[in-house]
Amino acid sequence: MLYLLSTGAVTNTELYALYLHRISTYDARGLFINSVPLVNLSLSAKPAASDARRASRKLLSKLDSIPYTLKDGFKYLGMAVTASGPAFANL
């Protein structure tokens, strides 16, 4: 991923869309394996901001806006602790 981003073969915005599509394909419909029970859609502006930083060579770090998943059994700023249970999403 980092190589593709650094060469311009893909943008962070494209990666974000690809990951959301993959989650949708395997978790929201189709197989419904529930590997990603919650998606933080409030992050949707971050990939474009990262693309702008990348274009101006002012990245926050090498991993600026690389998509990743968090284990939902721990508390992270802006995310619910759901223990993989969608019923706990709004607690």
pTM of the shown model: 0.71
**End-to-end Cα spacing for the chain:** 34
Contact between 13 and 48 under an 8 Å Cβ cutoff? The reply is: yes
Q: How is residue 41 written in tokens?
A: 């859609």
Contact between 68 and 15 under an 8 Å Cβ cutoff? The reply is: no
Contact between 59 and 51 under an 8 Å Cβ cutoff? The reply is: no
- pLDDT tens per residue, the chain (91 residues)? 889 998 999 999 999 999 888 888 877 666 667 777 777 777 888 999 999 999 999 999 988 878 877 776 777 777 777 766 667 666 6
